[in-house]
Amino acid sequence: MSTSLADIYTPNGTRSLAVAMRGGMAYLRLPVRTRRITEKDDLFALLKEYVAAHIKPSDIVFVSEKIVALTQGRIVRIADVKTSALARFLSRRVRNNVGTEKFRGYGHGTAPAMQLLIDEAGVPRVLFAAAVAALTRPLGIRGAFYFLIGKRAKSVDCPMSFDIEPYTHCAKRPPLNPPGVARAIRDLLGVDAVIVDANYIGAFSLGKSNRKISESFIRALLKDNPAGQADEMTPFLIIRRNDDSLAESGT
């Protein structure tokens, strides 16, 4: 009796396991569920426990940067973040649609989150990015601030999650050396790996084991954030070419 992938991997919410890409390519995004992970866990032990047995040679493993940062101890209590006047000033100018139906999270619209962003990028870079953003926004150019501060600072998250205790009152700094982590995962599992930051706005990589994996591919593949953003506990995604149907036998 065959076992379908749909019996093994359950999509989060209304998302689909399969996604069609430009050029006629199709992929499966297979979410790997885990127990609740804490800063006491070892990332590579988790990958051995939950992912290794499911891997096929042509797969790519996408790992949430949040889990990498968590297992590296890169979290801090929001109450312990000492905010500057600059952080308080800039955070008030973040348009996160708070109080409206479009609100999806505070992002860097809180002083502690903005302070951690400043700590990561540095004051000169943040001031330059803010000035450029102020000049270009009236021209209809958006995203200049985050482009200029860089991916690492952009990946600061505060609060770390709305729904997973005890981290609802914690902020997350960027993971350390995500390209090195991606290469170490490739060495462990024998397939390429991507450390990815994804949310309802979009997705981007912080580290890749193979530079040929493009950012446009990552954005298109994760445009609906198939791993979720709350308490889904699917920090690992196995990406697989969908040459066959979901009814293929085995994993």
pLDDT tens digits along 196-215: 998 877 899 999 999 999 99
Q: What is the number of structural domains in the chain?
A: 2
> Within this chain, do residues 117 and 130 fall inside the same structural domain, yes or no?
yes
> Within this chain, do residues 165 and 195 fall inside the same structural domain, yes or no?
no
- Report the b/e string of 212-240 with b at 16+ CB within 10 A: ebeeebbebbbebbbbbbeebbbbbbbbb
> Within this chain, do residues 29 and 43 fall inside the same structural domain, yes or no?
yes
Q: Give me the pLDDT at residue 204, please.
A: 93
First CA to last CA across the chain, in angstroms?
14
* Domain coverage including residue 198: 5-59+173-219+227-241
> Within this chain, do residues 198 and 235 fall inside the same structural domain, yes or no?
yes
> Within this chain, do residues 119 and 38 fall inside the same structural domain, yes or no?
no
User: What residues in the chain have per-residue pLDDT under 70?
Assistant: 1-7, 96-106, 160-163, 229-231, 244-251
> Within this chain, do residues 145 and 191 fall inside the same structural domain, yes or no?
no
Q: Give me the pLDDT at residue 217, please.
A: 94
Start-end of H helices in 22-109: 43-50, 65-71, 85-91
Q: Is residue 70 part of a domain?
A: no
> Within this chain, do residues 82 and 157 fall inside the same structural domain, yes or no?
yes
For residues 138, 141, 144 and 147, what is the CA-based torsion angle, rounded to 10 degrees?
170
Among the listed residues 164, 157, 193, the one whose alpha carbon sits nearest the alpha carbon of residue 35: 164
Q: Is residue 104 part of a domain?
A: yes
Q: Is residue 248 part of a domain?
A: no
> Within this chain, do residues 109 and 166 fall inside the same structural domain, yes or no?
yes
> Within this chain, do residues 29 and 152 fall inside the same structural domain, yes or no?
no
> Within this chain, do residues 119 and 162 fall inside the same structural domain, yes or no?
yes
Q: Give me the pLDDT at residue 3, please.
A: 46
Q: Give me the pLDDT at residue 43, please.
A: 97
For residues 115, 117, 121 and 126, what is the CA-based torsion angle, rounded to 10 degrees?
-70
Q: Give me the pLDDT at residue 133, please.
A: 93
> Within this chain, do residues 162 and 199 fall inside the same structural domain, yes or no?
no
Q: Give me the pLDDT at residue 23, please.
A: 78
Q: Is residue 180 part of a domain?
A: yes
Contact criterion met (CB below 8 Å) for 127 and 149: no
Instruction: Tell me how far apart the alpha carbons of residues 168 and 104 are, in angstroms, rounded to a whole number.
Output: 15
Q: Is residue 129 part of a domain?
A: yes
Q: Give me the pLDDT at residue 166, please.
A: 76
> Within this chain, do residues 15 and 94 fall inside the same structural domain, yes or no?
no
Q: Give me the pLDDT at residue 226, please.
A: 87
Q: Is residue 65 part of a domain?
A: no
What tokens were used for 120? 């990561």
Q: Is residue 166 part of a domain?
A: yes
Q: Is residue 31 part of a domain?
A: yes
Q: Give me the pLDDT at residue 200, please.
A: 75
